[in-house]
Structure 1
Amino acid sequence: MPRTTHSKTQHPKVGTSEQIGSTTLFCGSAGDFYERWEAPTVIHVDGPYGVSGFPGDPHTADGLAKWYAPHAAAWASAATPETTLWFWGTEIGWALVHPVLDQAGWEYEGLQVWDKGIAHVAGNVNSRTIRGFPVVTEVCARYSRRATFESEDGALLSMKEWLRSEWLRSGLPLYKTNEACGVKNAATRKYFTQDHLWYFPPPEMMAKLAAYAKTNGRLTKRPYFSLDGATPLTAERWAHMRTKWNHEHGVTNVWAMPAIRGAERIKHNGKIVHTNQKPLALIERLINATSDEGDVVWDPFAGLATTGVAANRLGRRCYTAEITPTVATAAAERLRSELAVPTDLSELA
């Protein structure tokens, strides 16, 4: 990848933006721009850790939950059932923010551990003073937007509860769901069970259930399994009711990948520009796993726009914001360099 070069320039003003490739970079606080961004399929969050890692990062993780609360609510408000949220942090930082994410409507799906390897601390550990094992990891939690459904009487239900209530509304016995789906017992055992073995019904099965209930169930003005209470359900609409997942065999939730060094590390006058720059390959993995070409990716805390670079490479559209003008300038230069676009050293338009 071409190296980013720096020169004397007037840094972008807060509130300005520029589209570079398929990435739109904003200068300022992301909270001021969310309403201008298209609904996201992926939200990639690599913000404050509470370790004094960069200007504005708190000294401890104590205040992270309060700091993230308005962002978590805004992300949930903009999200769809297809949206995946990836949240980076230290173990304690993520643990403290998790209740805020949960309260905002985000459903925890799993935790990934980035193992940077022993080289990350090699030569930097004083065995006489250290009082614990050297830390070579960060965590990245995956969340989905918690889906809620309104029943005929106006009650808000989870997807599992709603599926069962809609079938019972038809007046048909539960065992008939198997006949509707053309299976022996999988429908009652997976799609309509009340225990932890519940399984998201495939789109083709949902279409069959809706059609069967309409034909054989009680007459009703409200279509069975309608997502809006008025429009009949289709397989296509149901397919968009959960997050995307493009599986890659052999990849687990432990990511062994060295911290970046060499040409990928952005420097100015021999000094790194941002201490929390992530490996591009790592961010590409997240985006590839939970989105498709043409989808929208949000990165509220751009840093050096690694997410934007990944989005440009992978054919996604990215909206990202960086609050520090000097870092926003470096991010814009990096995006331009990646695309081999002549760098405009004036303000972002």
Structure 2
Amino acid sequence: MPPVKRASTNLHPTLTLGDALEHYASWPRPTVIVSDGAYGVSGFPGDPPTHDGLAAWYAPHVAVWSERALPSATLWFWGTEIGWATVHPLLEQHGWEYRTCHVWDKGIAHIAGNANTRTLRKFPVVSEVCVQYVRKVLLESAGVRLPLKTWLRHEWERSGLPLRQTNEACGVKNAATRKYFTRCHLWYYPPASAFEQIAAFANAHGRPEGRPYFSVDGKRPLTGEEWATLRAKFHCEVGVTNVWQEPAVRGPERFKEDTRSIHGNQKPLKLLDRIIRASSDPGDVVWEPFGGLCSVAVAAFNAGRRCYSAEIAPTYHAVASRRLAKCAPQPRVEISAA
């Protein structure tokens, strides 16, 4: 992990003992949400015994995530394969758009004699998933709310200008019609500079009665900077694919009490660092609704992000508090009044 220069104490993580539902409203709006909650395996008190109860378990949380997350937000949803598949319709219903499924391959050593194939009648499981979602942003055009790709083309068509003139607006030969205004799946999101050129051209040369074009308030067009904030952030590390071969946490990174692991599914900091850096910039806000040992908060602090965590179990909260105090002096530790 490259070091991050921290010029301000406002990067110190905030950890709350209590239900995240009671604290979302006081947290700043997030650019990243890392969900590592119920799996449907009775892994902790309140975790449903099967995946059947997961949609109901997550429903109140997903509703708030959808209301509070920035348009540029990314959700990383950890779980079992069947657990994620069960919650997926709920996420779609609340405006989260599936991007891709990442498989964490913990390796053959993870079996450790815990799979009786004759009894279970299946191959041993050494994986879980971390699924990437982004916000499905809708903008209004002529009284209809449209996805960004459709909205962009609809606003140009509303101006009455021929599609070929989008190239003139951008100063290119054919890239605008082929990339920015295509109807096919190979759509390119126009960068801020290209968007401003498109909006300026349409408002200068389009039908006067339809102005302003590319506006959300009916008073002025969006700026390039505003347009850029409507897209989820993503930075791709070279050589990384959607299969993550990383052993389960062992050694000094693993928190134990005597010889027993304190948390049954502690996530590697390496993977959390990867997803946080991929979907945010330094100073951005990360939410960790189901803190556990607050590995997300540790990774976020190391990467120069601001993390807000909640943990409902006093035992985990106590360990996480001590952990954060070591990596981030003076973390804000709160206790819910509920």
Q: 1:151 to 1:347 in 2, by over 3 A?
A: closer
Amino acid of the residue matched to residue 255 of structure 1?
W
CA contact (8 A) 2:213 2:221 kept: yes
CA contact (8 A) 2:117 2:124 kept: no
Q: 1:347 to 1:168 in 2, by over 3 A?
A: closer
Structure 2 unaligned runs (5+)? 1-8
1:300 CA drift (Å): 0.4
Q: Secondary structure at the match of 1:255?
A: strand
Residue by residue over 1:56-80, the C-alpha shift from the partner in whole angstroms, topping out at 9 and shown as x without a partner, is 2111000101111111111011112
Residue by residue over 1:190-214, the C-alpha shift from the partner in whole angstroms, topping out at 9 and shown as x without a partner, is 2222222222111111111011111
Amino acid of the residue matched to residue 245 of structure 1?
F
Corresponding residue for 1:131? 121
Q: 1:341 to 1:285 in 2, by over 3 A?
A: same
Corresponding residue for 1:317? 306
CA contact (8 A) 1:20 1:336 kept: no
Corresponding residue for 2:4? none
Residue by residue over 1:120-177, the C-alpha shift from the partner in whole angstroms, topping out at 9 and shown as x without a partner, is 013334454341110000001100011001113x211111221111111111111111
CA contact (8 A) 1:24 1:319 kept: yes
Higher helix share: 2
Name the CA distance, whole Å, in 2 between partners of 1:56 and 1:295: 31
1:340 CA drift (Å): 6.1
Q: 1:128 to 1:65 in 2, by over 3 A?
A: closer
Corresponding residue for 1:9? none
Q: 2:158 aligns with which of 156, 169, 176?
A: 169
Identity %: 59
Corresponding residue for 2:180? 191
Amino acid of the residue matched to residue 53 of structure 2?
G
Amino acid of the residue matched to residue 88 of structure 2?
H
Name the CA distance, whole Å, in 2 between partners of 1:233 and 1:340: 41
Q: 2:58 aligns with which of 62, 68, 73?
A: 68
- 2:33 matches 1:43: yes
Q: 1:47 to 1:176 in 2, by over 3 A?
A: same
Q: 1:110 aligns with which of 100, 113, 123?
A: 100
Corresponding residue for 1:232? 221
Amino acid of the residue matched to residue 157 of structure 1?
L
1:55 CA drift (Å): 2.2
Name the CA distance, whole Å, in 2 between partners of 1:224 and 1:213: 7
Q: Report the TM-score, using the length of structure 2 for normalisation.
A: 0.92
- 2:282 matches 1:293: yes
CA contact (8 A) 1:22 1:315 kept: no
Residue by residue over 1:258-291, the C-alpha shift from the partner in whole angstroms, topping out at 9 and shown as x without a partner, is 0001211112243222112101111011101111
Corresponding residue for 1:282? 271
Name the CA distance, whole Å, in 1 between partners of 2:245 and 2:256: 24
Corresponding residue for 1:92? 82
Aligned residues: 329
Q: Secondary structure at the match of 2:76?
A: strand
Amino acid of the residue matched to residue 129 of structure 1?
T
- 2:237 matches 1:248: yes
Structure 1 unaligned runs (5+)? 1-18
CA contact (8 A) 2:163 2:177 kept: yes
1:221 CA drift (Å): 6.8
CA contact (8 A) 1:51 1:60 kept: yes
Corresponding residue for 1:142? 132
Q: Secondary structure at the match of 2:51?
A: coil
1:348 CA drift (Å): 9.0
Q: CA RMSD in A?
A: 2.2
Q: Secondary structure at the match of 1:63?
A: helix
CA contact (8 A) 2:167 2:174 kept: yes
Q: Secondary structure at the match of 1:109?
A: strand
Amino acid of the residue matched to residue 104 of structure 1?
H
Higher mean C-alpha deviation, range 122-131 or range 238-247: 122-131
Corresponding residue for 1:13? none
Amino acid of the residue matched to residue 289 of structure 1?
A
Q: Secondary structure at the match of 2:286?
A: strand
Q: 1:252 to 1:225 in 2, by over 3 A?
A: same
